[in-house]
Structure 1
Amino acid sequence: MSGDGAPGAESGDVESGDVEAGDVEAGSADRLTRVLRPVRAGNGFEEALEQILQVLRLGLVERGGRLPSERELAGRLGISRVTLREVLKVLADQGLVESRRGRYGGTFVLPGPGAGGGAEAGLRRRIAEVDVEDALRFREVLEVGAAGLCAEDGLTGRSADRLRAALAATRDATPADYRRLDTLLHLTLAELSGSPTLAAQYAAVRASLNDLLDRIPLLVRNLEHSQQQHTALVEAVLEGDADGAREVMREHCAGTASLLRGFLA
């Protein structure tokens, strides 16, 4: 889970290129304050990634410029430096930042793949055709409602077996097959809610979301976190804990929303 310890919990680590906060221009630091804020415990990795992506997308640190030190970023976000390094690794893997060692090292902003090119422009046009916020809100309403209905009705027998089997399939899925099986798990929950209309509406909104999800990277840390939430969700549903099922699903939807906003906003 993303429940991190206090920032600096890994204080025994030696951070290459760690700089004092005073090395960051005052104006830049002020701008970052408007974007970077402590994340919620449930989706620490996803929300931290969303916020730093916002910093990059907004150009709050110029290309070639250096991000604040790991110590400062972890403090602003309220996460451990271990989690922050996982976030920075994702950004490096996407060609958005580069870590340099040495006295004048740190994490530096790169132009990013396809910046300003036709492929990037085409992607932006396709994304603009979808109202991401509306899709995310509608998805949350449907999924939270479905989770509560399933728990309140009390799934037993064949219905409970279907839900357990769908969960097991996601647990054993390869990265290439994960999103398809993740979709089937969520569709199963919607179908078991007892409302054909809800299930049909969810299928439609999930199709739109999958189109968006296919445009962002598949992150191992996020998959592990999602599986923990899936397990907690199924347990709550099968135990008849409607409030617990709704809360887990709400948090799960929020994690996905953070990733999509971060990469696509």
Structure 2
Amino acid sequence: MTVFKKQKSIGLVENLVNQLENAILSRSFEPGEKLPSSSELEACMGASRGTLREALRILQQKGLLESRVGVKGGIFVREANTDPVTEGLAQLIRLQKISLDDLAEFRQVIESGLIRLVAKRIKDADIKILQGYLPILQTQTLRGADGWHGFLEIEVDLRKELIRIAGSLLYKAVLTPIHENIFSYAAPYISGEDANVEEAMEDWTQIVNALANGDTNRAVFYTRDHIKRYACRMKQGVAKKNKG
């Protein structure tokens, strides 16, 4: 196997990881392809079994390799996907390692870009789907504070529709974990009474109608404003809880 070289005397695991990673990314091994056996890799790369095992473990953590068991098992090259990015960001949000200000600022920039892309790619059938969410959101709005949880769940689905319409894998990887975990971030600080579901309902009505009318700037304005006000309520909730 000329793809690999004998190990250098320093950074054995790192050297192995780099060589294997480069081989995968340069498509010397295609997605779904099985790697050579451990004994073959040990021989051609001059690595010990323990060093090779550690390198393969790191590459599995990076999402480049996967281990399969059974008669046809072994170490295989994974199909490229955004799972590691999505899972890592979701964990940061759940652990509240991202500040409210940073999260709001990031969302305003990224979701404004998403809306502009949606406006370029949206079709009549997509508009009808988005409009179909408004009466569902309104049902939760009429419940007042009790409808907040349900409203947020519907919001997540609506935002996923926007990501689908945009058709961008990057937006999906970055925004899905934010939308799916935002409630767990907000729940300790915002009650149903503080959430102002009526205002959020108005925001979504304006956003969907603007997209339907081809008014991109208006849709972006209400998207940014919605995120900004939500972040303000979360900060107020944090301050209120800290005082209590």
TM-score by length of 2: 0.51
Asked if the contact 2:203/2:222 (under 8 Å) is kept, the reply is: yes
Closer/same/farther in 2, CA of residues 201 and 239 from structure 1, 3 Å limit: same
Q: Match for residue 155 of structure 1?
A: 123
2:174 matched to 1:201? yes
Q: 1:142 aligns with which of 102, 110, 133?
A: 110
Out of 214-223 and 175-184, give the one that drifted further: 214-223
Asked if the contact 1:150/1:193 (under 8 Å) is kept, the reply is: yes
2:217 matched to 1:243? yes
Asked if the contact 2:207/2:219 (under 8 Å) is kept, the reply is: yes
Closer/same/farther in 2, CA of residues 259 and 127 from structure 1, 3 Å limit: farther
Q: Which amino acid aligns with 1:182?
A: E
- String of CA shifts for 1:51-94, please: whole Å, max 9, x gaps: xxxxxxxxxxxxxxxxxxxxxxxxxxxxxxxxxxxxxxxxxxxx
1:245 offset after TM fit, Å? 0.8
2:231 matched to 1:257? yes
Distance 2:201 2:155 in 1: 9
1:128 offset after TM fit, Å? 5.4
Q: Any stretches of 5+ residues in structure 2 without a counterpart?
A: 1-93, 240-244
- String of CA shifts for 1:173-224, please: whole Å, max 9, x gaps: 2514121112212222222122122022111122332212222101377110
Q: 2:158 aligns with which of 167, 179, 185?
A: 185
Q: Which runs of 4+ in 1 moved over 6 A?
A: none
Q: How large is the RMSD of aligned CA atoms in angstroms?
A: 2.2
Percent of pairs with identical residues: 21
Q: Which amino acid aligns with 1:250?
A: R
1:127 offset after TM fit, Å? 7.0
1:163 offset after TM fit, Å? 1.1
Q: Which amino acid aligns with 1:246?
A: V
Distance 1:201 1:232 in 2: 24
Matches within 5 A, 1:3-14: none
Q: Match for residue 212 of structure 1?
A: 185
Matches within 5 A, 1:32-111: none
Distance 1:170 1:250 in 2: 19
Q: Higher relative CO (CA 8 A, sep ≥ 6), structure 1 or 2?
A: 1
Distance 1:236 1:218 in 2: 27
Asked if the contact 2:207/2:223 (under 8 Å) is kept, the reply is: yes
TM-score by length of 1: 0.48
Distance 1:141 1:258 in 2: 17
Distance 2:123 2:224 in 1: 20
Closer/same/farther in 2, CA of residues 150 and 264 from structure 1, 3 Å limit: same
Tell which structure's C-alpha radius of gyration is larger: 2
